Homo-oligomer: A and B are copies of this chain.
Amino acid sequence: MSRLVMKFGGTSVADLERIRRVGRLVAEEVATGKQVCVVVSAMSGKTNELVAWTDQAGAAAQGLAASDDEYDVVVASGEQVTAGLLAMVLRNMGIDARSFAGWQVPIIGDDSHGKARIVDIPPANLDAALEAGQVAVIAGFQGVTEGGRIVTLGRGGSDTSAVAIAAAIGGQCDIYTDVDGVYTTDPRIEEKARKLSRVSYEEMLEMASQGAKVLQTRSVELAMAHRVPVRVLSSFIEPDAPEDVRAANGTLVCDEEEIMEKRIVSGVAYSRDEAKISLFGLPDHPGVSSKIFGPLADAGLNVDMIVQSHARTEGAANMEFTVGKRDAARAQQIMQGLKAEIGFEDIAVDDNVAKVSVIGVGMRSHAGVAKAMFSALAEKGVNIQVISTSEIKISVLIDSAYTELAVRALHAAFELDTL
């Protein structure tokens, strides 16, 4: 019997009316004879309320010990509430259901409170419920450590819960959200953006990493590793919507081999969450890079794009790199502390930058994408500050004021609107 994990985010379970709509979507899948697990987030706004209380309680303050473990205890309660409520709603529709908190599944996590990774999901309890004909309604975003403490998986962790559960029980994973699929780019910027019916794991991973917010990067990595078919679809399309509307709902994230027509470029992503740090007047000799990036890595800061250039001064170089916007102040502080050792003359931080990326598995076998990308940007007068590439992606850092212009220019240049 085929198995399905359905995941609903906070806006899809924001109140009882919406939870009942989720109930109807679950009922429809149950009616087709599938064994169904449902993973739910906290009701929209509830997590923020809980987090605000932990702030007031001094979660961030340094008392006897950091209170990340207790933060998890407080915040994980939100998903527990939704799971119980949805189980009730399903029963009142005549569907056998029961809720599972993370510790009841159990979803075993490591001890990294607030951002735990899933270590294991022994499937016996879920198997028993499913085989008994029950819908298992599981609190997302949470797990339990080997030592029996509650852990959370970090914001957006419910996607990861859902994919991991699908991997554990062997099934497809449907991620219900407030959009009806993965688009060629953000429709709020380019109204000609088109929904993709299929996208490969690799492309989805790059899109998520490069700023597309529809799926968490971690959940895509996990789906790719375990070959879990993931469908992204809207929870706002009702079971009683017209057949063509329902058929058009969703994007399947799957193996590249399952996509018949390979496109050169599948999408344009952008991110304004980056800051550029520039070091001027560096000594131009080997070893300087490791003096810069070693300490940043030790501090747990992720460096994304890097470019080194020769300075006008003879024998000197400049280095530019990007970090997450909220890490910028810390990176600057670390660099300042090493000014003498590294030997640079000056430092500048610019957070008026955006990263725009074109992504597509077709790039592997198709040259000329970079040239087409740079030409399209040049035509609109967009200056490229830094470039980075992977096998299936090219990213450029630009002045953030040009973000929308660049996204639209690239969307048109690669004919994504007429796909």
Residues of A within 8 A of B (CB): 16, 19, 50, 53-54, 56-59, 61, 63-65, 67, 69-74, 76-78, 80-81, 83-89, 91-96, 98-99, 101, 103-104, 148-150
* Contact call B57/A92, Cβ cutoff below 8 A: yes
* Contact call A85/B64, Cβ cutoff below 8 A: no
- Inside 8 A of A64's CB, which chain B residues have their CB? 91-92, 94-96
Output the least CB separation between A123 and chain B (Å). 16
A88 touching B58 in the complex, CB below 8 Å, given contacts A64-B94, A77-B77, A99-B70: yes
A57 touching B98 in the complex, CB below 8 Å, given contacts A81-B74, A103-B103: no
Output the least CB separation between A28 and chain B (Å). 17
- Inside 8 A of A84's CB, which chain B residues have their CB? 54, 70-74
Q: Taking CB as reference atom, which chain B residue is nearest A76?
A: B80
Q: A67-B88, A67-B91, A74-B80 are in contact. List 14 more A-B contacts (CB 8 A).
A: A19-B57, A54-B84, A58-B88, A58-B92, A63-B92, A63-B93, A64-B92, A65-B96, A67-B87, A67-B92, A70-B99, A72-B84, A74-B85, A104-B148
Output the least CB separation between A138 and chain B (Å). 12
With a 10 A CB-CB cut-off, give which of A57, A89, A94, A148 has the most chain B CB atoms: A57
* Contact call A88/B71, Cβ cutoff below 8 A: yes
Q: Taking CB as reference atom, which chain B residue is nearest A62?
A: B92
- Inside 8 A of A67's CB, which chain B residues have their CB? 87-88, 91-92
Give the distance in Å from the alpha carbon of A72 to the alpha carbon of B93 in the complex: 20
* Contact call A98/B77, Cβ cutoff below 8 A: no
* Contact call B94/A83, Cβ cutoff below 8 A: no
- Inside 8 A of A56's CB, which chain B residues have their CB? 16
Output the least CB separation between A46 and chain B (Å). 10
- Ordered by A's residue number, 29 sampled pairs between the chains whose C-beta atoms are within 8 Å are A16-B56, A19-B57, A53-B81, A54-B84, A57-B85, A57-B92, A58-B88, A58-B92, A59-B88, A63-B88, A63-B91, A63-B93, A64-B95, A64-B96, A65-B91, A65-B96, A67-B91, A69-B98, A70-B88, A70-B91, A73-B80, A73-B81, A73-B99, A73-B101, A74-B80, A74-B84, A80-B80, A103-B103, A104-B148
